[in-house]
Structure 1
Amino acid sequence: MKSAIGAVNNTDLSMIFTDFKEITKARLAVSVVFSSLAGYLLGAYEISLVSLLLLAFGGYCMVGASNAYNQIIEKDLDALMKRTRKRPIPSGRMSVKTALTTAVVLTILGILSLLALSPKTAMFGAISIFLYTSVYTPLKTKSPLSVFVGAFPGAIPFMLGWVAATDDFGIEPGTLFMIQFFWQFPHFWALGWMLDEDYKRAGFKMLPTGNKDKGTAIQIIFYTIWMIVISILPVFGFTGRLQLSIVAAAIVLLAGLVMLFFAFKLYQNRDNVSARKLMLASVTYISLIQVVYVIDKFIS
């Protein structure tokens, strides 16, 4: 009897943990934490393990809170899409009250953790939550400009790490912000291209022209080129302490050109297969260049 009760409890705990991962979008949150830690390592004069842990925990909480608020606001729309209808709220596994409580607790824990690093870090974290939930989320059903607005909170994590390490906002974190800002357009438009039919079921307007056409593909190419240009700027010495060696810049440039190749393939083919390849290339690109930036700092 006890073993049966234990099995039930273990199942319940497993489901709670699974729902927590889904409501906070754990994979996305971890990738955001990775970006912020990379930014910290780039900015830090001396590395503090406590600061890294606070940044990782606070970053996860802030992203998790944003995603939870997002799923509360969009619960009815999520129920209309194949990709999201099995999320905790639309599936009925989690109540709105539970999700809201989770979001509020994560917000408080996140802000306190980032505040322990510096007031500026906490401020940027709070701004990211506000923009994501109060501007980006409601704008998704109204205008393709939502992607532009959403790129601001999405670009904060890389920059946030530098600010957490230095308590300073200047050309260096500004450059990190711009790299991730421009990266988001080809990334999210490739994703939007793949999921266009599903998004339209919920009334989301994610593609810049509203359609999977040449206009959208051209804009993807345009923003990818800007991303490449900004990502190699540190090799020219214009960006303060944020610097790149020639070898590192060549690697970053090559990674960007690979992404640009897939952007041109999307323009040529205009199909979901090409969009998926671009999306996967973009995910690889952002993680790769962050690793290259960090390694280059410590070996140069």
Structure 2
Amino acid sequence: MCGYAMAPMATDLTCLFATTAGTGLCIASANTFNQLMEAPYDAQMSRTRNRVLVRKVISPLHAASFGTITGILGVGILSAMVNPLTAILGASNIVLYTCIYTPMKRVSIVNTWIGSIVGAIPPMMGWAACTNSLDLGAWVLGSILYAWQFPHFNSLAWNMRYDYTKAGYHMMVNANPALNSRVSLRYSLLLFPLCYIIPYIEMTTWWFALDSTIINSGLLLGAFRFWKNSNDKTARDLFFGSLIHLPVILALMMAHKKNWRTDNQKYDLEDISDTELKNITK
């Protein structure tokens, strides 16, 4: 929704609702197939052992049917009621999550970088839904979501590291704990310049640069402590800090958004001749 709200176009509530519904259905489809594929391994992890497929509350056939139906409906809604570009992004995210990210978790730590792409695409879908394009603003929004996921997920993974090992997942936190915390710190730092690009390309006022610096500094402090001394407490602090960080950053971004419509209307008035302007104001 933030991607749609930040796009430089007039808001169409029908399109917004269709985008939200279609994106939600695509996410439901991807998550369903993910849990279907990982049910035997989820049973070995404390965080996931109570999922419905693990407890056999529903059958694999029901799950596969639900995943297929929600995927078709989600992409169909985006294609018919939004635009083909947004539908392609939605379909691509389903494929990326289920066919690349999910199996790669058992092969290589690169899965974390692939999974972060999955999380970066939804705001780009919102932008594409509004503009039918992927302008620089869409890529910056996606990059912010991409970078945020490393301190978020790597701190979560720290307290799940023994479960990941038991279930046979190849995660950064198991293969190289020092890299796990170092990557969290690096991407927390990256959030600063990414947020500064937002006012630079005139998506927001420069007040967002100031506000985002304060919020990003809080996340960076947590990431620094996690890097300096990785333990359950610093990981937990960073994880919960990331849960607060993202909605606050996005809310501030929308609060400081420049009034594109007003600016465009001013430019339009400058192009109107004096005679036409008098007729309009009569």
Q: Which range, TM-score by smaller chain?
A: 0.7 to 0.9
1:275–1:85 CA distance, 2 compared to 1 (3 A)? same
Counterpart contact for 1:121–1:164, Cα < 8 Å: yes
RMSD: 1.5
Instruction: Map 1:164-203 to 2 at 5 A.
Output: 164-203=129-168
CA deviation map 1:142-197 (0-9, x unaligned): 11100011111110011111110000112110111111111111111111112111
8 Å CA contact 1:190, 1:279 repeated in 2: yes
Among the aligned pairs, what percent are the same residue?
29
| Range with greater deviation from structure 2 (258-267 or 216-225) | 216-225
Unaligned runs of 5+ in 2: 261-282
Whether 2:65 is the aligned partner of 1:105: answer no
**2:183: which partner in 1?**
219
What letter matches 1:142 in structure 2? V
The whole-number CA distance in structure 2 between the counterparts of 1:108 and 1:114 is: 10
Structure 2 CA distance for aligned equivalents of residues 229 and 204 of structure 1: 33
Opposite residue 130 of structure 2, the aligned amino acid is A
Distance 2:16 2:200 in 1: 29
Secondary structure of the 2:256 match is helix
The answer for the alignment partner of 2:252 in structure 1 is: 292
Q: Which has the larger radius of gyration?
A: 2
Counterpart CA distance in 2 for 1:257 and 1:160 is 28
**Aligned partner of 2:240 among 252, 261, 280:** 280
Query: Match for 1:92: what amino acid?
Result: K
Residues in 1 aligned to 2:213 and 2:77: alpha-carbon distance in whole angstroms: 35
SS for the counterpart of 1:232 is helix
| Segment of structure 1 superposing worse, 227-236 or 70-79 | 227-236
Instruction: Report the TM-score, using the length of structure 1 for normalisation.
Output: 0.83
- Per-residue deviation, 1:230: 0.8
1:79 corresponds to which of 38, 43, 62: 43
Structure 1 Cα separation of the partners of residues 149 and 58 of structure 2: 30
Aligned length: 259
Are 1:209 and 1:215, in contact at CA under 8 Å, matched by a contact in 2?
A: no
Give me the whole-angstrom Cα distance separating, in 2, the residues matched to 1:160 and 1:282: 22
What's 1:243 paired with? 203
Per the TM alignment, residue 267 of structure 1 is displaced from its structure 2 partner at its CA by 1.8
Aligned partner of 1:151 among 102, 116, 119: 116
Residue 270 of structure 1 deviates from its aligned partner by 1.1
TM-superposed CA distance for 1:86, in Å, is 1.0
2-side partners of 1:295 and 1:138: how far apart? 39
Question: 2:95 matched to 1:130?
Answer: yes
Tell me which amino acid in the other structure corresponds to 1:225: L
Amino acid at match of 2:94: I
User: Which ranges in structure 1 are unaligned for 5 or more consecutive residues?
Assistant: 1-36
In structure 1, how many angstroms separate the alpha carbons of the residues matched to 2:147 and 2:213? 15
Q: SS of 2:257's equivalent?
A: helix
State the distance in 1 between where 2:21 and 2:198 align.
29
Alpha-carbon offset, residue 271 of structure 1: 0.6
In the alignment, what sits opposite 1:8? Answer: none
